[in-house]
């Protein structure tokens, strides 16, 4: 199976990863993009899922029978500060209206209880620097147990020229809580300048999966299981939105033991 997919920009809502469809390797994690020009609208039906709508760029209005949020958003691009996001519960039909050109990443997973909608402002986003060069990156945590979401965990990564992200390679496909949980994941990529690229590795120890992808603007990779790690091409800023879903909300992972010594080196470097 090809775990890499592309988004071709167009107006409205474009579903990209839909569990149950033949070309999707995931069982519970949904992903799509809303893209609107000023004055355009789309009715977004959450159905039986909770959704995190991450505003990549622009402003939008969100209205329904029970909510009215105006001028939500503000970033000119994903490289312009922390995201503004919207959390939507199941069984909602929300009209999204473009105040200008707006692009929104839609991340969803089935939900069996009612929750409350909310706007997650940039001031609620936690930003940290992880790793040391050449595997240093900035990571933000947008939905991470700090919102009304129950199963989603979502953030953004900024990986500078020539650096790795997610190293040592790590996975989250075995229920060994509290260390590792079963969590599906997607990375959605953008670049500055836009002709940039990154290399994405995905593999399992038994060789069932062993993929190496060149990922470009508006491409994404699904991680149903296995170890994964990313490296940014020199000269380019790599951005990826990361979204996870599972019964255990959070970042429960294990490193590839063959490369876990790198994590120990990281701690030594940080201590000086």
Q: What is the DSSP track for 78-90?
A: TTSSSPEEEEE-S
| Per-residue pLDDT at 270 | 64
Q: Which residue has the higher pLDDT, 138 or 269?
A: 138
Cα gap 185→206, rounded to integer Å: 20
Closest CA to 198 of 160, 169, 154: 160
Give the residue extent of every domain in the chain.
10-266
Mean pLDDT of the chain: 96
What's the CA gap between 235 and 232, in Å, rounded? 9
pTM over 0.85: yes
Q: What is the pLDDT of residues 93-106, one digit of tens each?
A: 999 999 999 999 99
Q: Which CATH class is domain 10-266?
A: mainly beta
CA distance 79 to 56: 9
- The pLDDT score that the predictor gives to residue 94 is 98
**Position 268 confidence tier, pLDDT thresholds 50, 70, 90:** low
Q: pLDDT at position 134, please?
A: 87
Radius of gyration of the chain measured on its C-alpha atoms: 18
Distance (Å, whole) CA 49 – CA 181:
21
122 three-state secondary structure: helix
Mean pLDDT (whole number) for 71-100: 97
- Residue 180 DSSP code: B
- CA angle 115/116/117 to nearest 5° reads 125
3-26: average pLDDT: 97
């Amino acid at each position: 199976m090809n775990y890499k997919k592309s988004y071709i920009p167009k107006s409205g809502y474009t579903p990209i990863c839909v569990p149950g469809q033949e070309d999707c390797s995931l069982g519970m994690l949904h992903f799509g993009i809303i893209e609107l020009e000023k004055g355009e609208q789309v009715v977004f039906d959450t159905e039986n899922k909770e959704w995190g709508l991450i505003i990549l760029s622009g402003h939008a209005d969100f209205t329904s029978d029970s909510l009215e949020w105006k001028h939500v958003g503000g970033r000119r691009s994903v490289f312009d500060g922390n995201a503004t996001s919207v959390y939507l519960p199941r069984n909602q039909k929300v009209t999204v209206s473009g105040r200008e050109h707006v692009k929104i990443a839609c991340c969803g997973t089935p939900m069996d209880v009612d929750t409350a909608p909310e706007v997650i402002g940039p001031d609620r986003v936690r930003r940290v620097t992880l790793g040391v060069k050449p595997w240093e990156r900035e990571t933000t945590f947008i939905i991470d147990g700090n919102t009304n979401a129950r199963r989603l965990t979502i953030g953004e990564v900024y990986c500078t020229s020539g650096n790795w992200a997610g190293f040592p390679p790590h996975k989250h496909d075995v229920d060994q809580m509290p260390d590792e949980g079963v969590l599906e994941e997607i990375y959605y990529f953008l670049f500055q300048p836009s002709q940039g690229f990154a290399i994405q590795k995905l593999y399992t120890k038994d060789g069932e999966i062993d993929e190496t992808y060149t990922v470009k603007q508006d491409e994404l990779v699904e991680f149903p299981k296995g170890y994964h790690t990313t490296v940014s091409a020199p000269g380019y800023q790599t951005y990826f939105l990361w979204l996870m879903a599972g019964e255990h909300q959070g970042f429960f992972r294990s490193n590839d033991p063959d490369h876990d010594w790198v994590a120990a080196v990281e701690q030594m470097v940080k201590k000086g």
